Amino acid sequence: MAFLKEYISEVYHAVSSLLKGMRTTGSYFVRPKEIITQQYPDNRADMKIPERFRGEVVMTHDENNEHACTGCTACELACPNATIKIVTKFDTTPEGKKKKALDTFVYHLELCTMCNLCVEACPTSAIKMAQTFEHSVYDRNQLLKKLNNPGSKLRAGVE
Amino acid sequence: MALILECVIVMLLVISLFAVLGLVLVLMERKVAARMQIRLGPNRVGPKGMFQTAADTLKLMMKEGLTPDGADKFLFNLAPFVVMIAAMLIMAPIAFAKGFQIWDINIGVLYVSAVSSVSVIGILMAGWASNNKYSLLGAMRSGAQIVSYELSAGLSIISIVVLSGSLQVSDIIASQQTGWWLFRGHIPAIIAFVIFIIAVTAETNRAPFDLAEAESELTAGFHTEYSGMKFALFFLAEYINIFIVCAIGATLFLGGWMPLHMGHWEGFNHLMDYIPSSLWFLGKTFFLIFLIMWFRWTFPRLRVDQLLSLEWKYLLPISMFNLLLITLIAIMGWHF
């Protein structure tokens, strides 16, 4: 008799678990509002991109064309595939001391895997990940980017 | 002369029904799948993607129908037609509306279950004639599956034959005048219905029982070597078979073209009679088709040993015991 009880409970559990699955898919079927597909080229104007989507590395500049990059090369060291190259220069402070500063932030977009390690390594939050993703160009030289704006300088107070 | 004309008209009707069903069912499958997986599905060709399958058919027609060098040419080219003809033959005793039936044969249900086994020959023929180990293995799996699940499908068909006391399709429908067998036969009828649906899902080789198609091990199963229009015929036959088994299920368990009648609610019954009988039939059939599509996009597929143990250890004993109960109900007159 124990065999029969086991047999029936097996059938019962099988049927109830299958019905549970059908309830999930059936509930999606009757709620078309939850469809997550975006019709990309059509909805370029009002695309919904997730907050954590990583498109490319950019350097933030404020309204005075000042950035927060001290040229410490922490990002360059953190990068697993040599995407970033920091070129530094020496500025002279008003007191006459020489100080290391950023000259050019070279970023090879074509090598970047969007791993976010450089952004995490940056001690001054100078760089961040942007959400742009339409990066295709006809010449790969166009993917080599200089992230600091021409004429920009270090924001005062950032060490 | 009139007989020949009648034959031609029936032939044209069946062929055009096949073409329309192929287009509609494939589109329906893709749309249902998309909705269940929270995506949009085909939406580019025509309004809401309605002409997607028509475009696909056009593409298939323009493709080259290749016959492999080592194949048995005659059987290879014959197989898709055998499968299609088997599907066409089953159409004969199905009642599409009140008085709209090709052939009201007095052993209708027996005929259906006998002819539906013929499609196995087409599948095995295709697999063997392709001269390809994947095709042969896929065909063998298909064959094993269809042969074993035919048993429980047959037993659940018999349980309705027991209740209605006739093999003739029109008699079975007429016996459901006062209520469908699914409701009148108590729980055993519901169990028979569930077993029938499971068995026909397996017989049509659909997920979760689509073992004949295993991309990583068998590629596409018995139709691996087929291309172009010959592949399209197999593909079409697959969907036509779904329609047919659902039509049979609707006829046996849901009263065919019979409107829904509730005991003594005269007003309700009268209102239901206004809906044309063809709509009742198609509505019930498409409801069952939707149910089978729902299965496909929900359930994980079975392994081959699980497939056979499901049939031989669960469905067959349960349906045999169930048949016993139904016979008891029919003899004692316990049904409504």
According to DSSP, the β-strands at A56-59 and A84-92 are unpaired
Average pLDDT, chain B: 85
Query: Within 13 Å and on the Cβ side, how many CA atoms surround B112?
Result: 29
B182, part of any domain: yes
Q: Which two tokens stand for residue B313?
A: 């250890």
Encode pLDDT of A43-87 as tens digits.
Answer: 888 888 888 889 889 998 888 888 888 888 888 899 998 899 998
Collapsing DSSP states into helix, strand and coil, what is residue B68? Answer: coil
Considering its fold, how many domains does chain B have in total? 1
**Are residues A25 and B40, on separate chains, in Cβ contact within 8 Å?**
no
How many angstroms separate the CA atoms of B161 and B50, rounded? 40
Q: What are the strands, taking DSSP E only, across B11-111?
A: 95-97, 100-101
B9, part of any domain: no
B271, part of any domain: yes
B262, part of any domain: yes
Using a cut of 0.80, tell me whether the model's pTM lies above it: yes
B100, part of any domain: yes
Collapsing DSSP states into helix, strand and coil, what is residue B66? Answer: coil
Query: Considering all CA atoms of chain A, what is the largest pairwise distance in Å, rounded to the nearest integer?
Result: 97
Structural domain for B85, as ranges: 55-332
Q: Which two tokens stand for residue B45?
A: 């060709």
Helices B228-253 & B277-296 angle (0-180, nearest 10): 120
DSSP state, B185?
T
**Are residues A35 and B295, on separate chains, in Cβ contact within 8 Å?**
no
Is A51 exposed, middle or buried, given 0-12, 13-18 or 19+ CB atoms closer than 10 A? exposed
Encode pLDDT of B115-171 as tens digits.
Answer: 888 888 888 888 888 888 888 888 888 888 888 888 888 888 888 888 888 888 888
User: Which residues have CB under 8 Å from B232's CB, separation 6+?
Assistant: B57, B60, B61
Chain A contacts of B299, Cβ < 8 Å? 18, 21
B88, part of any domain: yes
Q: How far is B37 from chain A (nearest CA, A)?
A: 7
How many angstroms separate the CA atoms of A114 and B245, rounded? 52
Chain B contacts of A8, Cβ < 8 Å? none
**Are residues B36 and A25, on separate chains, in Cβ contact within 8 Å?**
yes
B231, part of any domain: yes
**Are residues A29 and B35, on separate chains, in Cβ contact within 8 Å?**
yes
Q: What is the pLDDT of residue B112?
A: 87
User: Which residues have CB under 8 Å from A95's CB, separation 6+?
Assistant: none
B3, part of any domain: no
Low-confidence residues of chain A: pLDDT under 70: none
